[in-house]
Amino acid sequence: QYIRSLSSSAALHAIKHVTVIGGGLMGAGIAQVAASTGHSVVLVDTSEDILKKSAKGIETSLKRVAKKKFAEKPEDGEAFIQKVLKNVSTSSDAASIVQGTDLVVEAIVENLKVKQDLFGALDKVAPEHTIFASNTSSLQIADIASSTARLDRFGGLHFFNPVPMMKLVEVIKAPATSQQTFDALLEFSKALGKHPVSCKDTPGFIVNRLLVPYMMEAVRLHERGHGSKEDIDVAMRLGAGYPMGPFELLDYVGLDTSKFIIDGWHAMDPDNPLFGTSPLLNKLVSEGKLGKKTGEGFYKYK
Ligand code: NAI
């Protein structure tokens, strides 16, 4: 079905072999979902030690999925896990395995220079037809792609955490991304069982472009003394029907991550009031209060 729905030229290179670079929170999730949907996946990170942890994480997550999906027949669940694990291998040398890949999905550290260096090197060794995609949250796809000579075969695939649970993928068409590449990325997202939406290469794409300024505005409202964080959270839960208030959400996302995004946008467009920074957020980050993951952010966690 998936192959048939592609145009005949794109069908020549339907995405079957996927290289996921970065075996952290997002990369391991992307590798798991791609393997679960029948793709052959190589997961790449900088060391075998990290890759062992990523593989263990994928297995644990698959067990959770299987327990739910095959509650009636645990033996089918075990077969499912083994089948998926067979589709994943690992490597600490991207250049050596990229030969046989249709798509490279990058989910490494959020640093422009590091991403550019990675793609620049891979561009020299990857086959002609291979599509490159970044899972960046806050950088411009065009900036990352500029280190390569395959601007037409470069796009964005922005997944959400936790990848196995979250249905959305933002598929990003940079100015030089070809229609064929964009279509292939859309089809790939659907083949993963996700719901893709398309977006231009603009800061934060859709979700973060709306969510980050909203959360920052909540912090500013609180900084002005116009409402307590508890009241603002209750107000947005009960008044707007949001499952979490903005301060709870900031703690969940991580205050360092939120600060990193807003600082980057502020540097790019200092006159945009939506991209204003916050003294309170900066103070909490400097004190190491990064949210749930450190036990304290705007709130304290046990
Ligand atoms: P993470 O820190 O959990 O994982 C990053 C992994 O990349 C680490 O295992 C690290 O060893 C590896 N790595 C770093 N440089 C590398 C290189 N040159 N070659 C190979 N591996 C390398 O980070 P996370 O949270 O998975 O984020 C990855 C990317 O996904 C970032 O660009 C981030 O902006 C984006 N993203 C993150 C989301 C989140 O909720 N955490 C959501 C959507 C996108």
How many domains does the chain fold into? Answer: 2
Of 208, 175, 192, give the one whose Cα is nearest residue 103.
192
pLDDT for the residue 14: 86
The residue type at 51: L
Handedness of CA 190, 192, 196, 199 (dihedral sign): negative
- The catalytic residues are 137, 158, 170, 208
Q: Model confidence over 183-242: pLDDT tens digits?
A: 999 999 999 999 999 999 999 999 999 999 999 999 999 999 999 999 999 999 999 999
Please tell me the distance from the alpha carbon of residue 92 to that of residue 51, in angstroms, as a whole number. Answer: 8
> Does 137 share its domain with 174?
yes
Q: Give the distance (Å) from ligand 1 centre to CA of residue 111.
A: 10
**What is the chain's pLDDT, residue by residue, as a tens digit (302 residues)?**
444 444 444 444 689 999 999 999 999 999 999 999 999 999 999 999 999 999 999 999 999 999 999 999 999 999 999 999 999 999 999 999 999 999 999 999 999 999 999 999 999 999 999 999 999 999 999 999 999 999 999 999 999 999 999 999 999 999 999 999 999 999 999 999 999 999 999 999 999 999 999 999 999 999 999 999 999 999 999 999 999 999 999 999 999 999 999 999 999 999 999 999 999 999 999 999 999 999 999 999 98
Q: Ligand 1: which of 19, 20, 26 to mutate, judged by most atoms within 8 Å of the beta carbon?
A: 26
Specify if 49 maps to a domain. yes
Examine the fold and report which residue of 200, 219, 245 is the final residue of a domain before the chain moves on: 200
Shared-domain flag, residues 171 and 251? no
| Ligand 1, pocket residues at CB < 6 Å | 21-27, 44-46, 50, 107-110, 114, 118, 135-137, 158-161
Q: What is the DSSP string of 219-254?
A: HHHHHTTSS-HHHHHHHHHHHH--SS-HHHHHHHH-
Domain end residue (candidates: 165, 200, 235): 200
* Distance of CA 26 from the midpoint of ligand 1 (Å): 6
Q: Are residues 257 and 147 in the same domain?
A: no
- Domain span including residue 265: 209-293
301 in any annotated domain: no
Residues 191 and 213 in one domain: no
The ligand 1 atom at the shortest distance from the C-alpha of residue 50 is 9
CA 222 / ligand 1 centre spacing (Å) = 31
> Residue 238 sits in a domain of what CATH number?
1.10.1040.10
For residue 41, list its beta bridge partners.
Answer: 18, 88
Minimal-distance CA residue to ligand 1 atom 16 = 108
Q: Let me know if residue 114 belongs to a domain.
A: yes
Domain termination residue (choose one: 169, 200, 231):
200
pLDDT score for 1: 43
Which pLDDT does position 5 carry in this prediction?
A: 45
Asked, for residue 82, whether it belongs to a domain, the answer is: yes
**Domain assignment present for 300:** no
Mutate to test the pocket of ligand 1, among 119, 137, 167, 263 (most ligand atoms within 8 A of CB): 137
Question: What is the whole-number distance in angstroms between the Cα of residue 32 and the centre of ligand 1?
Answer: 15
Count of Cβ atoms closer than 10 Å to residue 68 Cβ:
9
- Cβ atoms of 199 and 175 within 8 Å: the answer is no
Q: What is the dihedral of CA 242, 248, 251, 257, to 10 degrees?
A: 30
- What sections of 25-110 are H helices per DSSP? 25-36, 48-69, 74-86, 94-97
Does ipTM top 0.90?
yes
Cα-to-chain-centroid distance, residue 62: 19
